Structures are given as structure tokens and as C-alpha cells.
Amino acid sequence: MERLSSSQIRVFNEIASQGSFSGAARALGVSQPAVTAHIRTIEKAFDVRLFERSGAGVRLTFIGRRLYQHTAPLRDTEREAAEILSRAHTLEIGELSIASGSPVPAMQLVSRFRQSYPGIKLKLIFGDWQLVVNAVRDRKADLGLLTDAPVSDDIVRKPFAHQRIVALVPQSHPLADRKVVSLRDLVAESVLFRTGNSQTQRAVSQALKTHGLSIEPLFVLEAREAIYEACVQGVGIGFMFDAASTRQDGVVRIPVKELPDTHSEDVFCLASQRNLRATDAFFSMVETDIGGGFPS
């Protein structure tokens, strides 16, 4: 049986990671025709298609995804080996990509990291819980920052703070002077929900189900910022993790009786990437700074 060479696997992994032939060529320091030739050789030899081409780049076919599941760890090993050899004791240069579900913890940690490692180029991705998990699993991000990061054998995570879900009540609303509200109080109110991929919404939906309650939302909004602004304008009552925004205008944050649990804010990454130099430095910073929490 014909075997793939290490260079062919390297080219394939880089295209899958970068999402384009040109991006892979730049990352590998070779010409795009050379990258294309490698893939054509593989596809011809095994009579398969590894990528679907489009104007926006490329995406893996079914067989391409299966192959990438098995070969992607080799890319991590190559990167780790290169970093061990070239930057064993320093982080003068390098790059680190971070996916986060909220800008508040991300920017706090990024600020501290940049003070210690100004030469590291940082790339930030923001999205809902599932987008962040996918970004880390698909190696689009080196590490993620999430509330209640996934628990899995192939993932390493470290909590660095805790927060809880609160109701965002407009300042002019009759409930705004409450010390605590119940989901039962909100059944007859105009309530705003997030989409299903939101960790906040999943927790709220589970609490409603547990207590046998049903709320028909006025709006279902995609972004946390949209929820907050709608509450400021008096459109309705929304939900948010209490440290997910530093804004204080226009709303009152009130604990919810049926949502008493605190949730950990976690930094996490694939176990295969935990020892990459920049990733290790970020984890070390978090471990040193645990207890710093969020601004009040």
C-alpha cells in the first residue's frame, strides 16, 4: 500500500488548518503551486478528493475530515518540537490565538499577558460557547476562555474566576428594587432570550424546565450586547453572567432565585497543545493569578 510522505501530511494539515492553499503556502514558506502539487499527487494516487474548492477558500471533504482527525496531532508535535528547539527559555517572539465567549475576561487576561510577553502576537476570536469549543477542537484557536468549559479526556482546563447568572432589569421597571427575583415573577413579563448556543440561555432553559415553568420570550437575540442594550432601552428583562460586561448603565443586575449556582470561568486547550510554549505561559499566568477575579 502506498504511503503518504511526511511532507505530504505536513502540507495537508496546514491547508486544513489555514483554510486555504495560499495560507498554507505562506505558513510553510513554499510556493502555492508546490502546495497544490502535493495535494494533487495524494488525490490522484488514492483516487479521492480531500478538499472542496471555492472562492472563499477550501473546506475538507468527508474523507478529508477523517484524515485530519488522525494527522492533526502531528502538526501539534511539529510545532512543539520547533518551539522547544528555537525558544526553549524565552518568548521573545511567537503567536497565540485565543477564542473567548466574553470580552471581559479575555481582555483582562490579554492585558496581563501582553505586559509579560509583548513580543507574542495575539489573535482573538469571540463567539458563543459552541463556536469557542469548535475553534479549539478544530485548532483554529490555541486556547479558549469560557464559562464552564467542556470536560473531556482530550482537553485540559483551569478555572480562574467564578460568576453567576443575573437578571438584567431596566432601572425604571417595578422589579428593579428587588434584592432577588424568581423566574415565576418573570412569566408575565417581557423577557429576552439568547439563542440556543448560549451557555447563559442553556442554564436559564434548564432552570425553567426543572421548576416546571414556561416563558414565551418577546425576542430571541444572538448577541449579549443586543440583550444588554434592549434592557437599557426598557424593551424587556434579559439574563447575563454578572461579569460578562463592565457596563453599568440603564439596568440593575439582580440575582435569580432559581439560578443560585456559580459557574467557573476556565482557560482550556487540547491536551496535545498544553505544552506549547505560549500556551504554557498563558496557563502559568492564570495559575499564578487565580483569585484575581473580575472588576466590581
Q: Which of 155, 153, 152 is nearest to 143 (CA)?
A: 155
Helix axes 32-46, 21-28, angle to 10 degrees: 120
Q: How far apart are CA 158 and CA 176, in angstroms?
A: 35
Helices (H), the chain: 6-18, 21-28, 32-46, 62-86, 103-116, 129-137, 183-186, 199-210, 224-232, 277-289
Percentages helix, strand, coil for the chain, rounded to the nearest 5? Answer: 45, 25, 35
> What residue type is 127 in one-letter code?
G
In 1-28, which positions are buried (b, 16+ CB within 10 angstroms) versus exposed (e)?
A: eeebeeebbbbbbbbbbbbbbebbbeeb
C-alpha cell at 91: 518568548
* Greatest distance between any 2 Cα atoms in the chain: 74
pLDDT of 53: 86
Opening angle at CA 130, ends 129 and 134, nearest 5? 125
Whether residue 34 contacts residue 54, with contact meaning beta carbons closer than 8 Å, is answered with no
Which helix (H) or strand (E) segment holds residue 124: the answer is strand 120-126
In the chain the domains, ranked by start, together with CATH numbers, are: 6-86 (1.10.10.10), 94-161+264-289 (3.40.190.10), 165-255 (3.40.190.10)
Task: Provide the terminal-to-terminal Cα distance of the chain, rounded to the nearest Å.
Answer: 63
Q: How far apart are CA 32 and CA 261, in angstroms?
A: 52
pLDDT of 9: 94
Which helix (H) or strand (E) segment holds residue 266: the answer is strand 263-270
User: Sign (positive/negative) of CA torsion 39, 41, 45, 48?
Assistant: positive
pLDDT of 80: 82
C-alpha cell at 11: 502540507
293 alpha carbon, distance to own chain's centre: 19
pLDDT of 296: 36
pLDDT of 145: 96
pLDDT of 292: 46
Q: How far apart are CA 130 and CA 198, in angstroms?
A: 8
Instruction: List the pLDDT tens digit at each of the 296 positions of the chain.
Output: 578 999 999 999 999 999 999 999 999 999 999 999 999 999 999 999 999 988 778 999 999 999 999 999 998 888 888 777 766 457 777 889 999 988 888 898 999 999 999 988 899 999 888 999 999 999 999 999 998 899 999 999 999 988 899 999 999 999 999 999 999 999 999 999 998 778 899 999 999 999 999 999 999 998 888 999 999 999 999 999 988 888 889 999 999 999 988 889 999 999 999 988 899 999 999 988 665 444 43
